[in-house]
Amino acid sequence: MKKLIIVITVLFFCISAGSQERRLALVIGNGNYTSSTLSNPENDAKALEKSLKTLGFNVVKYENLTQKQLTQAIDDFGNKLKNFDVGLFFYAGHGIQSKGFNYLIPVDAVLKSESDIEYNCVRADRIFGKMDDAQNDINIIILDACRDNPFERSWTRAATGQGLTFMDAPRGSIIAYATSPGKTASDGYAENSPYTSALITCMEIPNIKIEDFFKKVRSQVREQTKDQQIPWESTSLEGDFYFQHDEDYVQKETKSNDAKQTDDIIDSESRTSAVPEIKSMVILPFANYSGDESQAYLGMGLQDALISEIGQLGTVRVISKTSTLSYANTQKTIQEIAYELNVDAIMEASIITIQDNIRLHLKLYKAYPEEKQIWSKTFDSDMSNIFNLYSEVVKEIAKEIQLTLSPQLKSKLAKNRQVNPKAYDAYMNGVFYFYQFTPDAFEKALEYFNLAIEHDPEWGPAYGGIALFWIGLRQFGLAPSTETIPNIYKYLDKLNEFEPGSANTHYINGLVAVWTGFDWEKGEKEFLKALELNPNDAYAMIYYAHLLMCLKRNDEALLMGQKALELDPLNIAIQTLHSVVLYCANKNDQAITLAEKILKVVPDNSLAISILSITHYHKKEYKKSIDYLTRYFHIEEAYKFLILSTVDEKGYIAAYEMLISKIIEMTGDSYPMDLGQLYQMINNYSKAIYWYEKAYEDHDANIPYLGTRLCSIGQLTVEPGYIELMQMLKLPLGEFE
């Protein structure tokens, strides 16, 4: 687990029952540091801003403040606070202690030694002074900033210790720390830190005093981190404070206590208060009790289909299948799995198959604040009615977790959907092999997709599978465009004929529109429609992120890529594609961190290697860049040594020229986009344009990236040949967002 230094001072205002306090909050998220980038502070700040606004706070939010900006923001907040009753300060970012004082670290801080802290950072007690001057009744300060010091590796003398030191709360205030004084806190695996997630979750609970609120936060964080992180508070509050007060909630809670419950199923009337809202879940790999290991593909296919069906509920984040596979036959507890995947509910499933008959048993568990089974049911179906079984499961789940189905989804679930059992069985086998992404597995997948069509010539998904097969061959360079493109459109037409309007159909239409048809407008419409129908499709999200990237809409691409990663956090393909998004959004350090993580799992991941080569190039670390390029093109060690020696003897341009000559000698003109990029890196724009024109003529699947940071290096963007290519592709010119 990656440890980070984040100081978050979170001030939660407890509102007395029936009062109408005027509330002001200052929310700051610092993550874009030069030396040690943090993933979550900006997300934490955005999420907390949203929650506080719903609770009546006037919120001022900033991200990535320099020392001057951070000081000014605190001073302005102090001046405004005089006109309010309650003040809240939230800081997410690096923090450090030195000589008994805590400091917030601005994004422009340069800390070569401990003596630099005082002059380059902002004392945390500056906010205390401003709050004290305002003389309002209640101030809440929350510090989620107790993480390892990233700067001390370069110091001759380290700081006095890890984490933040303890501070007494001034009169009428409460200080909340993400963890115990001197200890370290976790940044988590998803969009928000465990501490911020707990804060936001507990703020939704009415009628709890501020002190009890932080007890609930502490309990949730302790359980999520398996006792590795225990939040801490210091208080001098004299009055009571509540985030929200709801008399009706108390009545509902009383009613739920009297409701009769079955052994496995909680009555729906009591669930409003007895079962906290489920916002995210994971469906674990199916346990196969059929006694036939050859049926394993069926369990995987059923799991994937059920994830897709439940994902269409939209309001629940459902982890994609790939990230669940490591939990097959796991001995981990419900809470351990929930913590690792950042979800609040777990579904276990088992199947028994006898010929074409299926018995599916599902159990739903709530992970926090304690592990608890909240629903259990058995479903029976024959294979021809499998989709109707899915519909029944989705309706049951929606009912149990109190979700309202959209009219569109209600209509879909009400339809009688049947399938040829043999066609479905063959199709499941095809999907199983396709996602192994190897040439042999591709061919095996094609056999099964064709077999499915033999059993049912009018069943759309099988044609979609064959379209994906040809898309896969094209993207992996396993067949020429003259062969792949006609077949892609042939089977895509069949898919649209027999299964128009499904989420999967729109997703495949989007892939083809962008990377085969170069039709950006159609591609965006198709991806948006796919995500409207299935908001939990991680692949549709990450490929839409790449389209947004190609259209220079990097802020949107980052958001979409992060969502995809949340849905499928352990999926190497999603991680790899997101590393490209990070690089193209100028997040070099984050791209490097993710790509290095990928290579620890898959050492020969070519795209991760490529990202590392170009990010190190931009950091002017030419030897590292060349080292990764020689891995990418499989250059022998002896020649690699000569190229690296050339950097010292003749400079990096001469070294890259040697590398380019070797690549052309080995591969000819097989890698036009790569060669164009390499020529850009040595400022040879005429040759770069030559190779990009070659890629355009070949209808290269990577030509959509011409306008991204992958290809727009140096002064190429003002070259007439480049501008002409961009205009022919109808890609936007100009700067990135």
Among 350, 382, 403, the domain boundary falls at 403
Q: Give 680-726 pLDDT, tens digit per residue.
A: 999 999 999 999 999 999 898 899 999 998 887 778 888 999 999 99
How far, in whole angstroms, is CA 725 from its chain's centroid?
Answer: 33
| Residue 506: its H or E element | helix 503-515
Same domain for 94 and 180 = yes
Amino acid in the structure at residue 248: D
Same domain for 198 and 326 = no
What domain range is 202 assigned to? 23-235
What whole-number distance in Å separates Cα of residue 530 and Cα of residue 211? Answer: 45
What whole-number distance in Å separates Cα of residue 539 and Cα of residue 567? Answer: 9
Phi/psi at 281 (nearest 5 deg)? Answer: -150, 165
Same domain for 366 and 291 = yes
How confident is the prediction for the chain on average, in pLDDT?
80
Same domain for 159 and 294 = no
Q: Is residue 417 part of a domain?
A: no
Q: Is residue 655 part of a domain?
A: no
Residue recorded with tokens 């939230």: 90
Same domain for 302 and 204 = no
CA dihedral of residues 231, 237, 243, 247 (deg, nearest 10): 120
Contact (Cβ atoms closer than 8 angstroms) between residue 9 and residue 139: no
Q: Is residue 449 part of a domain?
A: no
Q: Is residue 605 part of a domain?
A: no
Q: Is residue 433 part of a domain?
A: no
pLDDT the model gives residue 605: 83
Q: Does the pLDDT of residue 137 top 70, yes or no?
A: yes
Same domain for 222 and 77 = yes
Q: Does the pLDDT of residue 616 top 80, yes or no?
A: yes
Q: Is residue 171 part of a domain?
A: yes
Same domain for 351 and 207 = no
Structure tokens at 678: 């390499």
Rg (CA), the chain: 28
pTM passes above 0.85: no
Same domain for 394 and 321 = yes
Same domain for 284 and 193 = no
More confident residue, 514 or 358: 514
Q: Give 201-246 pLDDT, tens digit per residue.
A: 888 788 888 888 988 888 888 777 766 778 888 888 877 888 886 6
Same domain for 306 and 191 = no
Question: Which residues does 329 contact at the CB level (< 8 Å), separation at least 6?
Answer: none
Structure tokens at 645: 């020696």
Domains in the chain, number:
2
What three-state secondary structure class fits 86?
A: strand
Same domain for 285 and 228 = no
| Residue 300: its H or E element | helix 296-311
What CATH code is carried by the domain that includes residue 286? Answer: 3.40.50.10610
Contact (Cβ atoms closer than 8 angstroms) between residue 107 and residue 73: no
Among 403, 420, 442, the domain boundary falls at 403
Question: Which residues does 620 contact at the CB level (< 8 Å), separation at least 6?
Answer: none
pLDDT the model gives residue 192: 76
Among 369, 403, 437, the domain boundary falls at 403
Q: What DSSP character marks residue 717?
A: G
Q: Is residue 146 part of a domain?
A: yes
Question: Which residues does 386 contact at the CB level (< 8 Å), separation at least 6?
Answer: 302, 305, 358, 419, 424
Contact (Cβ atoms closer than 8 angstroms) between residue 145 and residue 89: no
Q: Is residue 88 part of a domain?
A: yes
DSSP class per residue in 443-471 = HHHHHHHHHHHHH-TT-HHHHHHHHHHHH
Task: Label residue 620 left, alpha or beta by phi (over 0 means left) and psi (-120 to 50 means alpha).
Answer: left
What CATH code is carried by the domain that includes residue 41? Answer: 3.40.50.1460
Burial readout 685-720 (b: 16 or more C-beta within 10 A, e: otherwise): beebbebbbebbebbbbbbbbbbbbbbbbeebbeee
Same domain for 94 and 40 = yes
